A and B are shown apart, each in its own frame.
Chain A
Amino acid sequence: MTILVIAEHDNAALNAATLNVVAAAKQIGGDIEVLVAGEACGAVADAAAKIEGVSKVVVADNAAYKYQIAESMGDLVAELGAGYSHILAAATTTGKDFMPRTAALLDVNMISDIVAVESADTFVRPIYAGNAIATVQSSDSVKVITVRGTGFDPVAAEGGSAAVEATAIVKESAISAFISEELAKSDRPDLAAAEIVISGGRGMGNGENFEILYKVADKIGAAVGASRAAVDAGFVPNDMQVGQTGKIVAPSLYIAVGISGAIQHLAGMKESKVIVAINKDEEAPIFQVADYGLVADLFDAVPELEKLL
């Protein structure tokens, strides 16, 4: 069995989510190879070669892969991946975009968002926004899988010394093209990788009020998230959304501020180690999952929290 892991990156650096995917591959068992598809992505390939447990890195370095658009990636991974037993990618918006194309081209089904490996053909994944957990067995010749990072502890980024080889496969897309990008710029840690996350909900009232969360976050090195209600109300941009259809996080500490706790939000954070809820409504459902609940006006409690930290 040889497993192909598709590296998540931005051409300059390897995204840490890849380490969780390699961890899932390790649990499946067999040789692990990593595909780095991008343009001028040599540094990423070097980083991938150092990942613990990786035996080979395949690099597809071509302008066609600069933005990893789904049409090119789907074709590339289907052609390159056909001989592997498993193809794994992170369940990020990039992985979710091209992996189903790859599966369909290989005429196999796909298993999305696995959180545990039972055996080489049986996997565990949440369904119904995490309100049920399904164990699924696949009889497909190639198992095409996306991996939810929070289900697997990352392997070490250093320690390996895999061979790096190039592939000449070029899959240009004549029917789609990258046009533009608006990326959130932040000096704070990435939501998906942060040890501490502090999130605001509708109770924040407006976008300016998120400033009090940023202050706390900067003091303790936390990432800042939001509920869908806060994003829909226009307080903060969509990339901050934690929940069923946003980001799934599982930090050591999750602080929910002014968040009622809809099941769609809980689906994105209930695997956190310790959950704190600050809400003035003591009936809010968020308190049912919180380890520590504080019934208080967030506009008093959050500034006080900042002072005491």
Chain B
Amino acid sequence: MKVLVAVKRVIDYNVKVRVKPDNSDVDLNNVKMAMNPFCEIAVEEAVRLKEKGVATEIVVVSIGPKVAQEQIRTSLALGADRGILIETDEKLESLTVAKLLKAVVEKEQPQLVVLGKQSIDSDNNQTGQMLGALTGLPQGTFASEVVVDGDKVNVTREVDAGLRTVGLSLPAIVTTDLRLNEPRYASLPNIMKAKRKPLEVVSPADLGVEIKSTQTVVKVTPPAERSAGIKVADVAELVEKLKNEAKVL
């Protein structure tokens, strides 16, 4: 079966985010960018499905500027077969992203679509679910285990109260949580090989999707700083402070 994986280029998760002095946005100039960590887990899951003989082809799609090809190449080096970049320099909202992905799903007809549950920049946690609604496909969000069984997939989901397993008929959508797998690193020979794998570039207009924005960012500010308090000498002093100074015990 064919698996479609969506990946996003975001700020590297190790980078300390800074807000621009004019409070218009965060400052991404000269900042290290990388594949969203949840998307890495999505690619890894697809590659494992291929290694198990469940998946036959892995198509990776990304939406973003030309440089987002880097993240597609990384996915190809990890084991994906071909890539699609929907190239745009505009900042897209989740609904538009889901509409673009819907167009790709209609064209590629994958049996499984795997996405990260959220991107670590906007922290929205929306795209996979929106894609599910637009395509009429079922979803297994926040997955910690994915088991394909014939024309069904069982997805174990990380929920607030523990774990919940849902059974979905294929085609289906899965969004990954942190414990689904541990992504591998790309080997040098595979990085070289990835350069020769096909990567198609299309525009949103090619897919018949109009970019529409309904949200305006009024301002972006740094969070209220918490300043370090005091060091206590021992447990007795800690308990005394909590009782008499902070009055929380």
Contact = CB atoms under 8 A, between A and B. Distances in A.
A82 interface: no
Contact of A135 (B163, B165, B218, B228): B218
A272 B138 CA distance: 37
B196 interface: no
B222 A220 contact: no
B138 A173 contact: yes
Given A101-B130, A135-B219, A232-B178, A176 B242 contact: no
A234 to B, nearest CB: 10
Contact of A305 (B157, B220, B239): B239
Contacts of A305: 235, 238-239
B133 interface: yes
B188 interface: no
A245 B178 contact: yes
Contacts of B178: 228, 232, 245
B200 interface: no
A63 interface: no
Interface in A140-154: 140
Interface in B116-157: 117-118, 120-134, 136-139, 141-142, 144, 154, 157
A225 to B, nearest CB: 12
A130 B239 contact: no
A104 B130 contact: yes
B234 interface: yes
A292 B17 CA distance: 26
A169 B219 CA distance: 40
A47 interface: no
Contacts of B133: 74, 78, 100-102, 104-105
Interface in A62-76: 67, 69-71, 74
A56 interface: no
B18 to A, nearest CB: 8
A109 B93 CA distance: 7
B223 interface: yes
A244 interface: yes
B187 interface: no
A134 B162 CA distance: 31
B161 to A, nearest CB: 5
Scoring B129, B141, B169, B214 by chain A CB atoms within 10 A of each residue's CB, the highest score goes to: B129
- A-B pairs, 9 with minimum CB distance: A100-B129, A291-B229, A176-B138, A104-B130, A104-B133, A101-B133, A100-B126, A131-B17, A253-B248
20 contacts: A69-B166, A71-B132, A71-B138, A96-B125, A96-B129, A97-B139, A97-B142, A100-B127, A132-B221, A133-B221, A133-B222, A136-B218, A175-B136, A176-B169, A238-B158, A244-B120, A273-B248, A287-B228, A294-B231, A295-B231
Interface of A: 67, 69-71, 74, 78, 92-94, 96-105, 107-113, 118, 122, 126-140, 173-184, 192, 196, 220, 228, 231-232, 237-239, 244-245, 247, 252-253, 263, 270, 273-276, 282, 287-296, 301, 304-305, 308-309
Interface of B: 11, 16-17, 19, 26, 93-95, 98, 117-118, 120-134, 136-139, 141-142, 144, 154, 157-169, 172, 177-179, 214-223, 226, 228-232, 234-236, 238-239, 241-242, 246, 248-249
